[in-house]
Every structure is written in C-alpha cells, then in structure tokens.
Amino acid sequence: MTAEICSSTGDTPFPFIFYDTMGNTVNGTLISAPTSTSPLTMNSTVCIFPTANCGDVPTNNCCNLNKNSPDYDFRGNNYMFIAFSFMMVPLFYSYHLMGQSMTPEEIEREQQDSDGRKPKFIVNNRYLPSWLKGIFMFWYELGLPVYITAVVVLPIFLKLSEQLNMTVIERTTLSASEAFMVPYYTVFTFVEDIITVRVSYAMSQQDKVLTNQLIHAGIAGVIVTGVISGLIGTVLGIIPTTLNVLTFPGLANDRRLYPGCAIIDEIDESIVFSYWMMESWGLMGRQIGSVMIGFFYGAREYNIMGWLTSISFAVFAGIWFGNIQTTTNPLTLLGIGEIVMDYLTPSLLIGFIVSPMGSQIRERTGLNFSVKKVFSYLLRPLASIGGGGDNNNIHNEDVNNNRDNDNNENGDGDETASLLKEGLKIMFMDVIIQACMSCSIYLALNTDSAVAYKITALQSELPTYGTAYASGMAITAKLLGPFLLSNNMHGIFVKYIGCLMVCVLFLVILIVGTTVPFFKGLAFASGKNACAYASSEQCVNYFTNVFGVNATGGDFTLFFTYYVFPIAASMDAVLLVLRNVLLTCLDFDFMLYATFAAGLSYIPAICIARFLPTSFQNQAIAFFSAYYVPQFVLICAFSARLLIIARKLSTGEHGPWSKEQQAGKGRLASIVSRDGGVSESSA
C-alpha cells in the first residue's frame, strides 16, 4: 500500500511524477507528517521524494503532472476558444445596422472615406501588378483581426507559461512585484485611456486641431511620468531592504513556518533585481505606445496599427517562448521581452507616421509629429511659472509655426488641463481597484507564501477563462463607441450595447461550463510547480498546504480555492467590458464616485478575511474573495448606470457624451470664423 501511494503507477498513482538526475522516474517514501500548525498534516503520513532532482533546476526537471492520474483532466480551456465565434458579433452587428440606417449619399461618403484610408503605397504603387496588390490588400485588411487575436491569445499562453516554467519562488516573487508595480504603473498611466477616447471623438468630428494637440500633449505627459516612475523604481530597487520588503514580504515568517526548507532558505533579491529595473524604465515606452495606439484607433487606421503592434507581440513571444526552456532566470527573460516590446511598439508606430508611407494619415488627421512641439509641452509648465523668458519664446515660436492648428496658448492649455483632469479620474479608479488586489496579495504573502501561491495559481488562469476574450470585446467598444456617439447614431449604439451584453452573458456561461467540471485538473495544472516541495521532509508541509495530504485535497487547499474561480473570472470579464463602455460615454464623474464607494466596501471585506476568527481566516479563498467585493459593487453600479444611459440615448436626452460634441462644434466654429472656412492644413 505504501509503495502504491507514493508511486506514479498503480490503481491510485501519485498525481505527480518525480525524476532523478538522469530523468528516470523515482518513487517516494511514506513518513509521518512533520510538526505543523496546519490541521491538514496532523496525525497523517505523507509521501516525500528525497531522491528526486529538485535542487537548483527548473521544476520540469524535478517533477511534473502524472498523466496516469484520474484527476489529469483540464480540457475546459479547449472549449473556451468557442468565445471567438461570438466575441466580434457586436462589431459586425453594428456595421450591419449602420449600413441599413445610411442614405445612399451617406453610404457613398462612407465608401469614399474607406477608400481614402486604403494605403496608397499599395493601391497607387505603379511597380506592383494588380494581382499582387490584391494579395497585399487581403493581408492588410486582416490587421485588426490579427491584433485582436494576439491581444486575446498571448496573455493566455504567457500566464500559463509563467506558471509552468517558473519555480514557486519565482512565481510568487513575480506576483509580489506585480502587486506593487501594477498600481504603481497605474498612477503614471492615466493618459492612456483618455487619449484613446478623446482622439476618437476628435477624429469623428474632423477636429484636426485637437487631434494634434492631444497627441503631443499625451506624449509629453507620459515622458514626464515615465522618467519620474523610472527614478522612483530605481531608488526602491537599489536599496536591498526595500526591494526585499516589496518582493519577498513574509520571508522571515516562511522560514519560521518551514524550518530547514532549502528552497525557501536560498531566496535572495538578485533573482528579481534586473526584472524590477527593466519594468521601472519600460513604463515610458509602454505609455508612448498607448498614446499612439489611441491615435490610430481614433483615426480608424485599425489595420496598420494591428500589423505594427502584432510585430511587437511576435518579437516578445519569440524572446520569451524561444528561450524559456534554457534561461537560468525567467524573471530577467520576462523583463527583457517586455522592455523590448514596450519601446518597439511606439518606435514602429511613430516611425510609420513620420515615414513617406504615413503621409496619407498625416494629411487626413492633421497630425504633424514634431519633437520640438513635444518639448514645448514639456517646458510649458516652467514657462507659466517663470512668467515667460526663453521657455515662453520657445512656445510662442512653436505656436506661430503652427498657426492653423494651434490658435493660441490658452487653447492648448485648456486642452492639456482637461486631459489631465479627466485622466486623473481614470487614474483614481484604476489605482483603487489594483490597490485592493495588492493588499490581498501582500497580506497573503505575510501570512504564508503557500497561501499567496494559491492566489497566483488562480490568477494565472484568469486570461484563459474570460479576461483575454473580454479584452477583445472591450476593444470593439473603443472602436465603435466614440464614432457612433459623435455622429449621433445613438440608437445604433444602444443596440450595440444590448448585443454586447448578450455576448458577455454567453461568455459568463462559457466560463462556468468550462471550469466547474474541471476544478481538480485546473488545480493540478495551475499549481504543478509546487510539487518540488514534496522532495524533502523540511518542505513537504508547503506542498501539503497547497494540495492537501498526498495531493488529495481538503478544506482551503488549492482545489477548495477554485470554487470561487468561475465567479471571479466572470466578474473580471463583465467589469472590463462595462468599464470600457462607460469610458466611451465619457461618464468619468459617475465612475469616480462608484469606484470610491467600491473601495470603501473592500475595507470590511479584507478585515473579515484577516481578523475574524473563523475557519476562513487568513486563507487564500478569503483574501481572493475580498478583492472581488469591490468588483461586485462596481458591476452593480455600472450596470445600473448603463441602463440609465441607454434610456437617455434612446429618448435623445443629453449626457456626458454631449459635452464633447458641443465642444467640438465650438472649436470648429472658431476656426471657421477666424479663417473664413475650415482649415485643412496639417498641424
């Protein structure tokens, strides 16, 4: 019986296979469970595998899932790809409605606009035969689908790869780093979403003046915040004590809980230092890229943007997946891949715009990209503080050189102030939500890293089961919302929202159907690299706390924690879509107030998880669930708000979306009165 329990074969094989240094399968030894505070290990016997090769090697060289185990079943992720069949339906449905609602004259104008966006460097290239032009145009039109597919698929495989190829320490260290970095990024990334929405409105109204202002102001803003974030990250990273606190919280407690466990004793900050630094300085490139992607969205140049950003995705995928099996430090490899992608994306997008191939977009949008103008925005606060001087002369010269598009300093200042104000509202919303998750992660890490590891296991599966597909749906909201609202197609927008919500409901049903029958398989697949802790008597309690005695499960193990996973994944997907729809409606004030209320709801939830003396106290399922209390509050608030907005749109009432329309008309009228007609010159 002993041999069968700790063997990879037999009627009840051990769920994991262990290997020696030669790659041969080894069996384990049954011992009395070491002393522990966990009720799971009391009066029990556990398997350890002391002859397994579980030293300083990748987990796959030590142990892996046992395919002979009856619990080796996690096929649900294969069925999630069904979401591809309906995630784009709202977009196509809206295009169909627009076609039906247009008059013949409007259809002709739309066709002319569509033809005007076709790349002249292909269609007007006299060196290309017509059949080759057709092939190039066929692939050109696939730019947006390829981009959306990459946005959906890459996070899925990346998260799974991280969980499978990193050691437990590397994965929990990454999670701890992200617990700080993600809300830290969010503080400095408030320009991204607002640029996307505002440029979309400006382009829909043919407002070339505002488009040019927004892009230059946006890039200047993210350069400033990028430098500040890089400097702060560097200071925090070069102080070993600070870096340990941020990336290895609770390490001393873990060494007390698992005395003599070599895997924990060998931890040091060197494994995360390079990753930390690259993430700190990658933010600036990432946000310049976000500004440019927002511009391409607004200009409806989806296909060019799709292909250029897909190149960056492909380079990142090549760096990560091409080297993950041989790298000695996956965290450093991840940092290299991300910083290359962060700066390659804006380089490709800006390079295209300023190249001869981008002349068509420059003429149509009025964007005249100028490094000098970016720096004029950087120096403008100094000029206003100093009351003029050289900085003011730089600004005045820039304004005079761009008279048609930048009428006066007050106009630029108003737009910059508006951009900052609205962006700060978005920043507050994102910081509150991310801070709640960070708090849960840090409390879990300080309680027991095995508790935190169970949370990271669930997080690694979230893109696969919902959020990646919801991101694809959210992109359609960014594409369509501003266009439909700014062109007074309110009825179509309401129908689009209805169709979108039906598809989100289908996604929720799919999430539940593909996870509930496969809880055990999901737990084994997402937590498999914790098997290394079963290699020694000193570490086996960690393994038991994750999987239960001999990986048989039990209360508050990873299997138990997965009970909340379908709810969490569904809530993430629904909230992501609702957030983007409300953003397109420019309903920043309501979203701000609702997020503040949601943040307050987290306080009692996390206090219950941390301090209330119940069986759930300090357990992964409690910390993880506490984070979703604010999510639930926001879903209720955003859903109710969306119903009100839909009613107002249906009855022709005004709302936040109307302000940008009126502002656009006012800007256009001022240009007409000044120049005697609408200026078509580029900025």
pLDDT at position 6, please? 85
- Cβ distance 229 to 283 under 8 Å? yes
Alpha-carbon span 474 to 476, nearest angstrom = 5
Alpha-carbon span 433 to 627, nearest angstrom = 8
How confident is the model over 4-27, as a mean pLDDT? 84
Name the pLDDT band for 440 (thresholds 50, 70, 90): very high
| 551 vs 178: which has the higher pLDDT | 551
Name beta bridge partners: 45: 32
Name the pLDDT band for 43 (thresholds 50, 70, 90): low
Alpha-carbon span 535 to 210, nearest angstrom = 63
How confident is the model over 189-215, as a mean pLDDT? 74
pLDDT at position 55, please? 73
Burial environment of residue 130 by CB neighbours within 10 A (0 to 12, 13 to 18, 19 or more): exposed
Quick check: 311 pLDDT over 50? Answer: yes
pLDDT at position 435, please? 87
DSSP for 92-151? HHHHHHHHHH--HHHHHHHHHHHHHHS-HHHHT-TTS-HHHHHHHHHHHTTHHHHHHHHH
pLDDT at position 332, please? 93
Phi, psi of 129 (to 5 degrees): -70, 160
pLDDT digits (tens, 9 = 90+) for 161-172: 887 788 777 877
Name beta bridge partners: 46: 31
Using alpha carbons, list the distances in angstroms from residue 388 to 76, 213, 372, 383, 640: 64, 21, 18, 5, 49
pLDDT digits (tens, 9 = 90+) for 175-194: 777 767 776 666 555 565 67
State the maximum Cα–Cα separation within the chain, in Å, rounded to a whole number. Answer: 94
Name the pLDDT band for 364 (thresholds 50, 70, 90): confident
User: Structural domain boundaries of the chain?
Assistant: 2-72, 86-368+405-671
Name the pLDDT band for 234 (thresholds 50, 70, 90): very high
The segment with the largest mean pLDDT, out of 67-81, 339-353, 444-458, 575-589, is 339-353
pLDDT at position 392, please? 44
Percent of the residues in the chain that have a pLDDT greater than 70, as a whole number: 85
pLDDT at position 605, please? 96
pLDDT at position 328, please? 85
What's the mean pLDDT when you consider all of the chain?
A: 83
How confident is the model over 356-381, as a mean pLDDT? 84
Name the pLDDT band for 446 (thresholds 50, 70, 90): very high
What contacts 441, CB < 8 A, 6 or more positions away? 175, 176, 179, 452, 455, 623
How confident is the model over 327-338, as a mean pLDDT? 92
How confident is the model over 572-598, as a mean pLDDT? 91
pLDDT at position 419, please? 61
pLDDT at position 146, please? 92
pLDDT at position 190, please? 58
Q: Name which of 52-61, 74-83, 222-231, 559-568 the model is least confident about.
A: 52-61
pLDDT digits (tens, 9 = 90+) for 616-674: 999 999 999 999 999 999 999 999 999 999 999 998 888 887 765 555 455 444 444 44
pLDDT digits (tens, 9 = 90+) for 82-134: 998 898 899 899 988 988 887 788 777 777 777 777 888 888 888 889 899 89
- Residue 217's CB is within 10 A of a number of other CB atoms, namely 26
Q: Name which of 113-127, 249-263, 283-297, 465-479 the model is least confident about.
A: 113-127
Token pair in block for residue 449: 């890293």
Quick check: 461 pLDDT over 70? Answer: yes
Quick check: 479 pLDDT over 50? Answer: yes
pLDDT at position 209, please? 84
| 474 vs 399: which has the higher pLDDT | 474
First to last CA, the chain: 80
pLDDT at position 492, please? 92
How confident is the model over 328-344, as a mean pLDDT? 94
pLDDT digits (tens, 9 = 90+) for 492-516: 999 999 999 999 999 999 999 999 9
pLDDT at position 493, please? 93
Token pair in block for residue 194: 């607002």
Alpha-carbon span 197 to 492, nearest angstrom = 18
Quick check: 22 pLDDT over 80? Answer: yes
Alpha-carbon span 155 to 465, nearest angstrom = 11
How confident is the model over 390-409, as a mean pLDDT? 43
Per-residue b or e along 664-676, where b marks 16 or more CB atoms closer than 10 Å to that residue's CB:
beebbeebeeeee
